[in-house]
Structures are given as C-alpha cells and as structure tokens.
Chain A
Amino acid sequence: RKEVEQDPGPFNVPEGATVAFNCTYSNSASQSFFWYRQDCRKEPKLLMSVYSSGNEDGRFTAQLNRASQYISLLIRDSKLSDSATYLCVVNGSSASKIIFGSGTRLSIRP
C-alpha cells in the first residue's frame, strides 16, 4: 500500500462547478498535511496547508479527518485557471520526510 494515495482522475467538470478530491495516508503519526498544485510542465507549488480544524482560502477548503486518515480539498465556483494536477502531501515516518501522492488531474471546461 502506498503511503499517500489519491484518485488520479481526470476530473472533467464545467466552469462554476464544485469539485472535491480526497487523499488517504497510511501513517497515523503524520502531523503535516498540504495540498500542492502543479501546472503542466511546471514545478509543484504550495496551494494550502491543511490544519486539524480545517481551513479555507477563498474558493478552496481543506479538511483533515485523522480518524479515517484522509484529507480533502474542495474547490467552489471552479475557474478555467483551476485546471491543473493537485498533489496531496503528508509527512512520513519523520517530521521532515515529505511524501507526495500521485496527483489528481483536474480539467475545467468552459
């Protein structure tokens, strides 16, 4: 079993739709959780950290469920510019060991 698993997609949704991704992780001791965004042929960039209480940044909401060991990302009112791959990131057996999921591809259509 991979340490961090994501649905690879692709998710193809119309502009303005709400879309959600989940990501599961295997290490119950993980403490740091992030969502990164990666555009085609570009490097990953931090989208948002995920806090225990959940957090929101504009149209983006991240949630953490420790009991079930998953994190989620919700995008409301999706824009064409949201088309990208979204990478789930969790720290592993040590605090500084950062593990990436395989990514979920999102495509927003006009």
Chain B
Amino acid sequence: EAGVVQSPRYKIIEKKQPVAFWCNPISGHNTLYWYLQNLGQGPELLIRYENEEAVDDSQLPKDRFSAERLKGVDSTLKIQPAELGDSAVYLCASSLGGGRSGANVLTFGAGSRLTVL
C-alpha cells in the first residue's frame, strides 16, 4: 500500500512568489493534516481536514496561506506571496479518523522542503 505522497520534495523560490504543495493521503484515511516544521522544532499544525471539511484552521495564516481538499481525498496547500520566514518543511499526514481503533495514529509523507530567497 502506498503511503502518504507529497510533492514537490524540494522547492526554492524568491520572496513574493507563489508556491503550492500537494498531498495524497493513505486510501481510506478521512483525516488529513498539514503541519509546518522548522529546524529543531516539532511539527506545528496548520490545518486539519475531516473528509473535505476544514475543522481546524486556527493556526493557518489566512492572509497568505490557503488550502483545499475538494473531494475529501488529496489536498493542496498554497502560499501567496511567500515570505523569507516561510522557509520550512511542510508535512502532510493522514489518519483514519472517527472512533475507530488507531484513529489518531498519524502517517506522514516525506515532506516538502521550501526555501524562500
């Protein structure tokens, strides 16, 4: 079974440019997460989806960040315009969700490393 797939793995852009990251979760996983991770820090939640509904986007900087999960499967995270401080690794994760056993066990993708120059 394929794991969580993210692309691109690496992206280098100049500040003020737009960038988009894509994530395909594990088949059957209803909950999808986007995390941001800076060097030496733990992942910080940006947004969480239950199926196609964004149920927690309180930490998403909405002036420049947007996300969508239109059909409740894959998801896109966009930054426009990017700033120097956005350089980080953007991690996508998925979990079964619901009340099932192991519902909150997250499986991560390999991440998208963004460098803003």
Contacts and interface: CB of A to CB of B under 8 A. Distances in A.
A100 B44 contact: yes
Interface of B: 31, 33, 35, 40-45, 48, 50, 55-56, 91, 95, 97, 103-111
A97 B56 contact: yes
B104 A44 contact: no
A45 interface: yes
A40 to B, nearest CB: 10
Contacts of A34: 104-105
7 contacts: A34-B105, A44-B91, A46-B105, A89-B106, A91-B104, A96-B48, A98-B106
Interface in A85-101: 87, 89, 91, 94-101
Interface of A: 4, 6, 8, 32, 34, 36, 42-46, 49, 87, 89, 91, 94-103
Contact of A102 (B41, B105, B106, B108): B41
Contacts, number: 58
B94 to A, nearest CB: 11
A90 to B, nearest CB: 10
Closest 3 CB pairs of A and B: A100-B42, A43-B108, A32-B104
A5 to B, nearest CB: 10
B45 to A, nearest CB: 7
Contacts of B41: 102-103
Contacts of B48: 96-97
A99 B45 contact: yes
B50 A100 contact: no
| Residue with the greatest number of chain A CB neighbours at <10 A, chosen from B43, B45, B50 | B43
